[in-house]
Amino acid sequence: MTTNQTPGLLRPLNEFADAPDRPYLVCLPYAGGADRVFRTWAAPLAAAGVGLLAARLPGRAERVTETPYTDLDSLVADLADATSARLAARDFALYGHSMGAAVASALTLELDRRALAPTRLFVGAHAAPRAARPWLGPAAATDGEFLSWLGQLGLVDPAILANDELVSLVLPGLRADFTLVRAYQARPHPRLPVPISVFGGRSDPLVDAAALGAWAEATDERPVVRVFPGGHLFPWEHPDRFVRTLVDDVAACFAGPFAADPSGADAAHPADA
């Protein structure tokens, strides 16, 4: 995958093109997810004076026929190029959900290497970098086994699994996304150079409280950990509650010293999670 993907990698869901002082949140989706999953966040963030960019990755949605990324370094380099092109003169934060959290963590390190580190990293539904992730499943599983496993975990809409044509479209992207997460798990994990906020679902079958709290080992500054009702896709199960908290936290991180405020979530430091 080459950098000719870079111009279309980040899609603006709201913009402050004429206000160069406005900060941005850059969002990276879960495995198989598209930029559109973040559309409902655009208006609340705009009301708080925060722009929103979402990763528009090949292998899904309107780019479903394009070859998905299977090399993490290539994806991170292209995302860093796209971020630099759009936000080099602005403050910004990153939010990644599940697979997106792994990519966002790797992207944070690359942006820091380029002297363009985000103000804060927000991660959702993902274990700390050094935590084991047995839920990733066997890499050599057959397509049927892989899809059955995803269905059992509730990670794919049953309507998609029941439609062979849709399965043939989304399967390559899903396979590629899990390849990216396995690559992230296998690599060394330097401490992240920015403050971190960690979000989790109380009923998430894949990421428990201990895995969320272990993010304390990934950074020098104690993370803020918030737990919400719901499972692995909790931001979309209880959207009003989550988005209200996210918007408050994102706005606060650009306003000065970050002060944890539950805002409807169960807030806990790693030791209490």
Percent of the chain with pLDDT over 70: 87
Q: For residue 183, with 0-12 CB atoms within 10 Å meaning exposed, 13-18 middle and 19 or more buried, which class applies?
A: middle
Structure tokens at 237: 């199960």
Nearest Cα to 26, choosing from 43, 38, 44? 38
Each residue of 201-223: pLDDT tens digit?
999 988 999 999 999 999 999 99
How far CA 191 is from CA of 108, 159, 221, in Å, comes to 11, 41, 10
In 3-state terms the chain splits into helix, strand, coil percentages (rounded to 5) of 45, 15, 40
Give the count of beta carbons closer than 10 Å to the beta carbon of residue 272. 11
Angle between helices 164-186 and 99-113 (to 10 degrees): 50
| pLDDT (0 to 100) of residue 12 | 95
Q: Where are the domains of the chain?
A: 3-268
Question: Domain 3-268 class?
Answer: alpha beta
Query: pLDDT per residue over 65-123, tens digit each?
Result: 899 999 999 999 999 999 999 999 899 999 999 999 999 999 999 999 999 999 999 99
How far apart are the C-alpha atoms of 52 and 54, rounded to whole Å? Answer: 7
Average pLDDT over residues 176-193: 90
Q: Letter for the amino acid at 138?
A: P
